[in-house]
Structure 1
């Protein structure tokens, strides 16, 4: 019946009822019967202790079930249906589940001892001091574990995303408790401590919605002025002729020291890197062909030796399309 409704509270109640232990019901019945008939003495005291133990034990079972349901519900909402859950992230979620259950059982156990008349002050103090000592001893490991929780909860990346961290890049294969594994394009597996990933700047290319591209080229100053004036318009036509792109601009950007520098900007309406490279290759070929037809030429470094009075000058003059640099001879 609970499965046929959209509410969730009845699912929790149904699961708790299913996990209700028969021994708990038996002890409850015995204690209730003894109380009704007015039992006294040692027997009722013993039944009361059994009753307290049964109540706390059953509360722990119900708490386990509620925590498990909450975790599965969270996974379902985060990743979709349970069968499509990202199981590579479950190691971190299992730690959350185990930790929460451990805390639950510890608290209930201390409360049980307190209800049974045991002085738990010294025990709690000892647990606190022991916990601090353990935390200091394994602080690096705990730092990576908490970092893994941050990655899973905050989701700066997921399994299958292509990320760049510093000078390393690759596809995320797994997010573990202490480390995350990334498969590089060259084939090797990169292993990053989770704490380092949380503290680093991460580029996530999987979440790129579109790719903005800016490319440029240099034209010789000796090219015809008429051809230079036509280049921005020609490049704009070339870019706009491509499919799956959005043209932005094309200009003579600056008068460089050695050449005229042109830039063009467009947006590829796809995240696929190969699609971007195919488009850029077509544009490059078309620009080369167009500059050839216009009579303009690309700028490139050119060495030149200046001869004076039929003799080599004292210095060898090296220049690149307008920039002279005197290289002194080794000996005069």
Structure 2
């Protein structure tokens, strides 16, 4: 058994064996403990209605393999007499593993908080959903940046000099990706100013559809014909946007024409007929009806009314009913609708 006393790196073999055994034992112990606690937490979360215990169970289950290994190696190294530099790096690696695990846990906690707020805000204020997601992204970015700087600091890198260098390099990067940054800041403008939110029906130039997604670079709209239209956020904000979802009522301007042969009494009755047709609709509000102009082949009447709902289908239903009533009343009053006609006068002179 003399080989047990053979020295490697200032430590006999038996110490190395104890260290290896302790590393395995600690790792197995941590692994089993993690599994038991995660299973108990999962069972407990099934019995309750709150979501916080689900979060705790998920955090325990998501504990990283490398964290357990780093802690096991750190505990096992305490049985050895190693060079100060080696002990320093073993301790640093354990701390870095803790930082990385902390970042993972922090990211999951942020995701949990964001998802809870999204569920609460989705029905009451869809516009707040995009803002919450954006703040969550910024929170994650800040968390990961802080952890990254802490890791670099523990590795002995001068963080102050690095930050100063990043500031100079950041200017060059910003110039190279200015279009992307422009879309990013435009997305923040959309999220904070809320010219539209998910679910709004909008018209952008010649394109129209329902907003499906507002991202950090692009916004996606589902058109009426089914395809998805993708806009960069900068282009979208530079366009003229008409948001029909925020229309409280719809103003409708329509016109009809009757023949020139219509008697004066019938012409005077037409505005009243139109008014009665509109007022018969509960979802409509009459504004005006007038004999507007003499056309090329018709006497033109213009009328205006409001549909009390912004819904397009409701507007079409109201307009259909009004048109049918006007058609029926004109038939009863023997008023003829005009259509393009020409009258030719032939002069039969003597030959």
- Normalising by the residue count of structure 2, what TM-score does the alignment of the two structures yield? 0.61
Q: Tell me the residue number matched to 2:283.
A: 245
Where is the helix percentage greater, Structure 1 or Structure 2? 2
Q: Tell me the residue number matched to 1:122.
A: 161
Q: Secondary structure at the match of 1:164?
A: strand
Deviation at 1:309, TM superposition (A): 11
* Deviation readout 1:43-79 (Å, 9 max, x if unpaired): 9866764565455344323322332223322332333
CA distance in structure 2 between the partners assigned to 1:229 and 1:114 by the alignment: 89
CA contact under 8 A between 1:239 and 1:247: conserved in structure 2?
yes
CA contact under 8 A between 2:307 and 2:315: conserved in structure 1?
no
Q: Secondary structure at the match of 2:146?
A: helix
Deviation at 1:13, TM superposition (A): 6.6
Are 1:74 and 2:114 counterparts? no
CA distance in structure 2 between the partners assigned to 1:53 and 1:174 by the alignment: 37
CA distance in structure 2 between the partners assigned to 1:49 and 1:234 by the alignment: 88
- Which residue among 159, 170, 173 is the counterpart of 1:131? 170
Structure 2 unaligned residues grouped into runs of 5+: 1-43
Are 1:267 and 2:307 counterparts? yes
CA distance in structure 2 between the partners assigned to 1:171 and 1:46 by the alignment: 56
Q: Tell me the residue number matched to 1:194.
A: 233
Over 3 Å counting, the alpha-carbon distance change for 1:219 and 1:137 in structure 2 is same
Q: Secondary structure at the match of 1:107?
A: helix
Aligned residues: 292
Deviation at 1:137, TM superposition (A): 1.0
Q: Tell me the residue number matched to 1:162.
A: 201
Structure 1 unaligned residues grouped into runs of 5+: 312-332
* Deviation readout 1:207-229 (Å, 9 max, x if unpaired): 55654433232456663332233
CA distance in structure 2 between the partners assigned to 1:168 and 1:104 by the alignment: 39
CA distance in structure 1 between the partners assigned to 2:90 and 2:226 by the alignment: 66
CA distance in structure 1 between the partners assigned to 2:210 and 2:349 by the alignment: 64
Deviation at 1:188, TM superposition (A): 5.4
Q: Tell me the residue number matched to 1:286.
A: 325
CA contact under 8 A between 1:209 and 1:271: conserved in structure 2?
no
CA distance in structure 1 between the partners assigned to 2:201 and 2:254 by the alignment: 23
Are 1:64 and 2:96 counterparts? no
CA distance in structure 1 between the partners assigned to 2:345 and 2:321 by the alignment: 40
CA distance in structure 2 between the partners assigned to 1:12 and 1:223 by the alignment: 78
Over 3 Å counting, the alpha-carbon distance change for 1:67 and 1:218 in structure 2 is same
CA contact under 8 A between 1:165 and 1:202: conserved in structure 2?
yes
- Which residue among 77, 85, 108 is the counterpart of 2:147? 108
Q: Tell me the residue number matched to 1:317.
A: none
Over 3 Å counting, the alpha-carbon distance change for 1:204 and 1:286 in structure 2 is same
CA contact under 8 A between 1:219 and 1:298: conserved in structure 2?
yes
CA contact under 8 A between 1:233 and 1:250: conserved in structure 2?
no
CA contact under 8 A between 1:250 and 1:264: conserved in structure 2?
yes
Deviation at 1:116, TM superposition (A): 5.6
Over 3 Å counting, the alpha-carbon distance change for 1:129 and 1:291 in structure 2 is same
- Normalising by the residue count of structure 1, what TM-score does the alignment of the two structures yield? 0.63
Over 3 Å counting, the alpha-carbon distance change for 1:304 and 1:252 in structure 2 is same
CA contact under 8 A between 2:251 and 2:304: conserved in structure 1?
no
CA distance in structure 2 between the partners assigned to 1:45 and 1:269 by the alignment: 71
Q: Tell me the residue number matched to 2:254.
A: 215
What RMSD over aligned residues (CA atoms) do the two structures have, in Å?
4.7
CA distance in structure 1 between the partners assigned to 2:330 and 2:179 by the alignment: 60
